[in-house]
Structure 1
Amino acid sequence: MFQTKWILVPVLVLQLLACRAEFYSSTSGLEQLFSTEVALLEELQNYVDEITQHAEALQSEIDAIRVEHLSAMDSIGGYLNNPVNAFRLIKRLHSDWETFESSVKGDTSRADYLEAMAVLKENLSYPSQDDFVGSAIALTRLQQTYQLDVAELASGMLNGVKYGTAMSWQDCFVLGQHLYALRDYNHTVPWLQKSMQLLGEQSYGEEPASLDFMEAVVGYHQQMGDHENALNLINHVLAIEPEERRHLLETRTQLEDLITDGVKQGLLHTTARRPGDYHSSREFRMYEQVCRGELTPSPTAQRHLRCRLQRRRFDYAPFKLEELHADPPIVQVHDMVSQRESLFLQNAARPRIQRSTVYNQAGAGTTAAAFRTSQGASFNYSQYATTQRLSQHVADLSGLDMDYAENLQIANYGIGGHYEPHWDSFPEHHEYPEDDLYGNRLATAIYYLSDVVAGGGTAFPFLPLLVTPERGSLLFWYNLHPSGDQDFRTKHAACPVLQGSKWIANVWIRERNQDRVRPCDLQRNHLASLHFKNFD
């Protein structure tokens, strides 16, 4: 039983190695994978139904013969002396058993299933190794950002709410194994620990093969220098098979001595983060605290903020404007996009969606980056009536010239989808392409096209401010001081999506021809934000 269950792990990994496209960075992509599994499940069910019918027919023959054998057991001689019985026995062995064998040989269920699977593999979407690694990293990102308990996460619970089915011990082990390969040892330990706990709770958890596997996992904990979990696992194995596993007694003594002496050795203690690693910085910790709601603006900073109605340039209903921050000014405008418009934009983006990229700091062009996991598609504002309305809304709100705005970018975030802290504006040394005459990004507007069940907020670590996605609302702020300098206080991030699907539409407005609406100050006024340029 153990071997049957365990074999699912390497088979799963082999399937995941089949490269097709990237799916983990968008819930839209994950929908394709769900459709793949639906088709595979249907094909496997067809196969099971066929072999079940065949098996039932053979079982019927077996039962009939066994009934006859049981009746013959009282007097085999009397049974065989009956000429009808003798004939039936000879007939069965002469022709029936040959028919049974031919029936097994002629069963095309297996071949039909494999042929159908070959066709499906050519036409359906399969995740790649990058998808698997990306989803593993996303789980640990969620675990770290929101300080989730591994036991709850493995049971399908997020922040105390049951959302999905529990993970198996194989799921936890494969996740830990890949985190080990990625040298993320701090996250490897709890997942291996949970895997072994779940294995021990299985009905086959005390079988020799299971204990062999636990003994092998002891090696992982030893190499990482996790002496306590290694010792606990050895004690568990020895409690079940003390005589058969006597070779572990020496290892147990060594571990006990290391723990008593307080020796810190192994990968957990010798592998340190690279100098200057952003994920160890105070700024990154602040970002995570904002995402968790632990760091919020002071009451003084929010004292003069208000909600108000702002008239539009034309005879439309006024904007429902909520001031979120005074300096720099950040506002959220509610009820800007209807549910119908939101769904239209999502459906328009799905066929064109691709991995989101960032500007390459090493040169021209853009590139995919691990610190931004989402997928997006761009649209000219004139393409649809809905996109035209989105452009007009921003123009009415800000008065800015939308002729100098980048194309609308619709984005979707997948498993743990996020975008680490960044500025939308370009740095002073940014090299603009020759055909880019629009200047720096003066302002940003984000349309929230969906609600998010948990996580996925827009975080401003330096303010500190967290904006919860609200379907139909618009978030707006300026990236530059009136002097044209970068406002470093506007560094922001997309917190990892913990539960749900996050859809947004980004609007970036360039500074060219905006001087009549937002004229440049004669004096530079960037000192208020300069402190945050090289924040630790």
Structure 2
Amino acid sequence: MKFPAALTIFVIGLQIIICNAEYFSSTTGLEQLLRTEVILLAELQNYVNEITEHAEMLQSEINAIQAEHLSAADSIEGYLNNPVNAFRLIKRLHSDWETFESNVEQDASRKNYLEAMARHKENLSHPTLEDFTGTALAMTRLQQTYQLDVRELASGMLNGVKYGAAMSWQDCFVLGQQLYVMQDFNNTVPWLQQSMQLLVQQSYGKESASLDFMETVMGYHESMGDYQNAIHLINHVLAVQPEQRLHLLETRAHLEQLISDGVKRGLMHEVARSPDDYHSSNEYHMYQQVCREELKPEPATQRKLRCRLHRGNGLRSSYQPYRLEELHLDPYVIQVHDIISAEETIVLQQLARPELQRSMVYSLSNSEHISTNFRISQGTFFEYHEHPIMQRMSQHLENISGLDMRSAEQLQVANYGIGGHYEPHMDSFSENHNYGINTYMSTNRVATGIYYLSNVEAGGGTAFPFLPLLVEPERGSLLFWYNLHRSGDLDYRTKHAGCPVLMGSKWIANVWIRLSNQDHIRPCDLQRDHEISLPYKDFK
């Protein structure tokens, strides 16, 4: 019977090994986990081989004894009257069966396997509870942002494209269970529902152990106030074992009465999202619409845009003109194509991989760097002089913008992991930001450049909710815009986000240029010009 082994998966799956690494926030760490699983799979295969060999030995003994019994069945009296047969029977029961028991007790296969696993847990990469939680959040983030159907997602379909193997009923249950623990009850319901639908389809879906488990899941739905799915499971269980499950009749009648009375209680109704939650705001919904390409710029504004060859604004013009595409005029947003080669992007990824750490954001309360769930990626920083490619990247930006790159922050190379994203934010700092020491770093970020170091198969675009504009990652291109008005005031229209990566691995290199030393290059206007963006300052 397969079901007990399937249940064991839950026990193994939930014993998360704690270590210091973090794997869900970057795709690079997943390679280590895949290598870990290759080694663990080999250990499990060794164990199976050993117990198979032992089982085959025992099976040969069983076959020999069964042959004796078949021989005896023709004439039990005649068989036992044979002194040789009588001796062998007594001998088997006196000593052979003790030997069989001793062999089972002394079987070293289990001990060898557990000892090997213990060693591997100390030396190999394992995900933490934070990784498990982060992956569960990523799945629901992808669902909500791209409005994915749970059934399609569980079948390996992403936006109508089949990418990989389907999820098992156990996979769906463990995800639903984790979401239940995280009190994300609205997302718990469809995953538990999908789990039970898949279980019903299995060959052991009508066995007693399966029905017991369905009763357990029914309790989850009842506790959440999801009475319809609870009744659906009760009906299935009663259809299979009506006599043995009579206690469910009372439960079903009670739930049907609650539905009839319009009673809404349970965890889904008790743990409701706060009206002030940013994820319930119009701004956040606009961001999701841009990621789905449901919200786009007006055609009239698009007609004014142009593509052109650009030789540069810096002190040294480029010998090879840049292929510049205007994406938005006010605020000014451009994308420069084929600015670095595919080979250079790969080198940058290789340089960054050993140094990647969880990406941080500025805390609004104390200007410190912290990690948050609204930015899921890993990154590292480089000085531009550390590598010729980085020096060329700096020169490209100076040529294109004319800005003084001596006021640029370090280059940040970042990789986005499972459902990796960065919710809407401003690159420029708020008016009350504490800059600290008086250097070029004590001024605001006048401009941002994003070098795309990879293509992304699905998702992962850069979204500007207020423009509204979506820029797809294009390997080797540069996205550039100004964060500040000419007056130095914040341009709130430049709030932007990294859409969740649906399929693929997103690599970028961020460049932030400060306002210091730019007054002779991008001088302030005589009149303040920031009023046009003020409606977006406190947009809800």
TM over 0.5: yes
Alignment correspondent of 2:7: 6
SS in structure 2 at match of 1:524? coil
The aligned counterpart of 2:108 is 108
Task: Give CA deviations for 1:388-437 in whole Å, capped at 9, x if unaligned.
Answer: 12112111211212111111111111111110000000111000122653
- Residue matched to 1:122: 122
Q: 2:248 aligns to what?
A: 248
- The match for 2:391 among 383, 388, 392 is 388
Three-state SS of the structure 2 residue aligned to 1:26 is: coil
Task: Give me the CA root mean square deviation.
Answer: 2.1
Deviates more, 1:295-304 or 1:77-86: 77-86
Distance in 1 (CA, whole Å) between partners of 2:240 and 2:385 is 71
- Kept in 2, the 8 Å contact 1:358–1:366? The answer is yes
Residues 156-186 of structure 1: per-residue CA shift (max 9 Å, x gap): 1111111121112222122222222222221
Cα distance change, pair 61–235 in 1 and its aligned pair in 2 (3 A): closer
Q: How far apart are the structure 2 equivalents of 1:21 and 1:436?
A: 35
Name the residue aligned to 1:154. Answer: 154
Correspondence 1:450-461 to 2 at 5 A:
450-461=454-465
Q: Is 2:407–2:440's contact at 8 Å kept on the other side of the alignment?
A: no
Tell me the residue number matched to 1:530. 534
- Cα distance in 2, alignment partners of residues 258 and 51 from structure 1: 53
Q: How many Å separate the matches in 2 of 1:3 and 1:327?
A: 63
Q: Aligned to 1:20, what secondary structure does the other structure show?
A: coil
Q: Report how far residue 76 of structure 1 moved.
A: 5.4
Q: 2:379 aligns with which of 376, 384, 388?
A: 376
1:48 and 2:48 correspond: yes
Between stretches 294-303 and 106-115, larger displacement belongs to 106-115
Candidates 499, 502, 509, aligned match of 2:503:
499
1:329 to 308, 328, 332: 332
| CA distance in 2: counterparts of 1:267 and 1:83, whole angstroms | 74
Larger displacement relative to structure 2 (46-55 or 500-509): 46-55
Deviations 1:182-206 (A, max 9, x none): 2222111111111121122222222
Work out whether residues 440 and 515 of structure 2, in 8 Å CA contact, stay in contact via their aligned partners in 1.
no
Q: Any gaps of 5 or more consecutive residues in structure 1?
A: none
Deviation digits for residues 130-161 of structure 1 (CA, Å, limit 9, x no counterpart): 11111111111110111110111111111111
State the one-letter code of the partner of 1:496. P
After TM superposition, the structure 1 stretch with the greater mean CA deviation from structure 2, 101-110 or 521-530, is 101-110
Q: Does 1:227 align with 2:231?
A: no
C-alpha spacing 1:416/1:77, structure 2 compared with 1 (3 Å): same
Task: Identify which of 428, 442, 446 aligns with 2:446.
Answer: 442
TM-score calculated relative to the size of structure 1 = 0.94
Conserved? CA contact 1:20–1:125, under 8 Å: no
Shift of 1:350: 1.2
Q: Structure 2 counterpart of 1:44, which letter?
A: L
Question: For residues 427-466 of structure 1, what are the alpha-carbon distances to aligned partners after superposition, in whole Å with 9 as ceiling and x for unaligned?
Answer: 1100012265331111101011111111110000000000
The Cα shift of 1:499 comes to: 0.8
Deviation of 1:110 after TM superposition, in Å, equals: 2.1
C-alpha change, 1:55 and 1:272, in structure 2 (3 Å) is: closer
In the alignment, the residues of structure 2 paired with residue 106 and residue 209 of structure 1 have an alpha-carbon distance, to the nearest angstrom, of 31
Q: What letter is aligned with 2:515?
A: E
Who is 1:29 aligned against? 29
Q: Please list the CA deviations of residues 43-63 of structure 1 after superposition, one character each: whole Å capped at 9, or x if unmatched.
A: 111121222223223333433
Whole-angstrom CA distance in 2 between matches of 1:178 and 1:319: 49
Alignment of structure 1 residues 464-483 onto 2, 5 Å = 464-483=468-487
Could you tell me which runs of 5 or more consecutive residues in structure 2 were left unpaired when the two chains were aligned.
none
Work out the CA distance in 2 between the residues paired with 1:212 and 1:28: 41
Separation in 2 of the partners of 1:94 and 1:201?
48
User: Residue 399 in 1 paired to residue 402 in 2?
Assistant: yes
Which one-letter code corresponds to 1:238 in the other structure? L
Q: Which of 505, 510, 514 does residue 510 from structure 1 map onto?
A: 514
Provide the aligned length of Structure 1 versus Structure 2.
Answer: 535
Q: 1:241 to 1:94 in 2, by over 3 A?
A: closer
1:83 shift after superposition: 7.2
SS of 1:463's equivalent in the other structure is coil
Partners of 1:26 and 1:131 in 2: how far apart? Answer: 11
Using the TM superposition, give the Cα deviation of residue 518 of structure 1 relative to its aligned residue in structure 2, in angstroms.
1.0
Question: Aligned AA for 1:246?
Answer: L
**Equivalents in 1 of 2:83, 2:248: separation in Å?**
66
Q: Shift in Å at residue 262 of structure 1?
A: 3.0
**Do 2:440 and 2:514's aligned partners in 1 also have CA atoms closer than 8 Å?**
no
Asked if structure 2 preserves the Cα contact closer than 8 Å seen for 1:19 and 1:129, the reply is: no
Corresponding residue to 1:341 among 331, 339, 344? 344
Residues 343 and 70 of structure 1, relative CA distance in 2, 3 Å threshold: same
Q: In the alignment, residue 214 of structure 2 is paired with which amino acid? A: M
> Which deviations, in whole Å up to 9, do the C-alpha atoms of 1:464-501 show, x marking residues without a partner?
00001111111000111111111110000000111111
Measure the CA separation in 2 of the matches of 1:264 and 1:88: 72
**Percent identity, aligned pairs only?**
67
Residues in 1 aligned to 2:340 and 2:67: alpha-carbon distance in whole angstroms:
74
Asked if structure 1 preserves the Cα contact closer than 8 Å seen for 2:146 and 2:291, the reply is: yes
Paired residue for 1:302? 302
Structure 1 counterpart of 2:435, from 426, 432, 436: 432
- TM-score, normalization: structure 2? 0.94
- Alignment CA distance shift 1:205-1:524 (3 Å): same
Partner amino acid, structure 2, of 1:54: H
1:20/1:126 contact within 8 Å kept:
no
Distance 1:400 1:154 in 2: 49
- Aligned 8 A contact 2:456 2:473 in 1: yes
2:176 is aligned to: 176
Please report how far the alpha carbon of residue 78 of structure 1 lies from its aligned counterpart in structure 2 after TM superposition: 5.6
Structure 1 residue identity aligned to 2:355: R
2:74 is aligned with what amino acid?
D
SS at match of 1:382: helix
CA distance in 1, matches of 2:115, 2:409: 49
Q: Does 1:201 align with 2:201?
A: yes
AA at the equivalent of 1:525: D
**1:57-72 alignment runs, 5 A limit:** 57-72=57-72
Residue number among 351, 357, 362 corresponding to 2:365 in the alignment: 362
Residues 61 and 239 (structure 1), Cα distance of their counterparts in 2 relative to 1, 3 Å cut: closer
Distance in 1 separating the partners of 2:439 and 2:421:
28
Q: Is the 8 A contact 2:318 2:399 kept in 1?
A: no
Paired with 1:428 and 1:130, the residues of 2 have a C-alpha distance of 34
Provide the C-alpha distance between the structure 2 equivalents of 1:225 and 1:364, rounded to a whole number of angstroms.
42
Indicate the residue corresponding to 2:217 in structure 1.
Answer: 217
Offset of residue 315 of structure 1: 5.1
Identify the range of structure 1 (200-209 vs 41-50) with the bigger mean alpha-carbon deviation: 200-209
Distance 2:464 2:500 in 1: 14
